[in-house]
């Protein structure tokens, strides 16, 4: 139990969630979603997480944090990148997971590009 309390403090920088913190977290979540989908944000996120676009649009318009269920679905859909956007003072394990995910994505892109370049090699 002591470890989980410590982790919560690392993420929130306090022992209690205050209104300002919730508003800031909501802003970070919305900014992340809008970066992913600049237009039709609610519709696209709803498709990704299996949620209601109406509910998501209300969340965006009100600048409120999502419900626990919606937050969990976002976490499952967007992974460590989402967590890093929501919690800028993330603990090391979280930033390590994000870096690993980014590294794997870049290596996959590198492989695709190498295969495309090999296919374009001049015929001799």
Select the more confidently predicted residue: 9 or 118. Answer: 118
pLDDT over 70, % of the chain: 85
Q: Does residue 63 register a pLDDT over 80?
A: yes
DSSP state of 40: S
Quote the pLDDT of residue 97.
Answer: 87
114 vs 28, 45, 124, CA distance in Å?
Answer: 36, 32, 19
Query: Tokens at residue 43, please?
Result: 């519709």
The whole-angstrom separation of Cα 62 and Cα 124 is 63
Quote the pLDDT of residue 40.
Answer: 96
Summarised one tens digit per residue, pLDDT across range 83-113 is 999 988 888 888 898 899 899 999 999 999 9
5 vs 12, 14, 85, CA distance in Å?
Answer: 11, 10, 21
Mean pLDDT across the chain: 86
């Amino acid at each position: 139990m002591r470890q989980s309390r410590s982790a919560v403090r690392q993420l929130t920088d306090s022992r209690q969630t205050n209104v300002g913190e919730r508003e800031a977290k909501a802003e970070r979540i919305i900014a992340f979603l809008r970066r992913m989908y600049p237009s039709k944000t609610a519709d696209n996120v709803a498709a990704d997480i299996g949620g209601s676009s109406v509910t998501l649009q209300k969340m965006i318009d009100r600048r409120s944090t999502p419900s626990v269920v919606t937050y969990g679905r976002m976490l499952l859909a967007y992974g460590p990148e989402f967590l890093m956007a929501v919690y800028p003072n993330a603990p090391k394990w979280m930033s390590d997971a994000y870096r690993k995910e980014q590294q794997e994505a870049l290596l996959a892109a590198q492989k695709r590009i190498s295969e495309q370049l090999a296919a374009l090699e001049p015929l001799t």
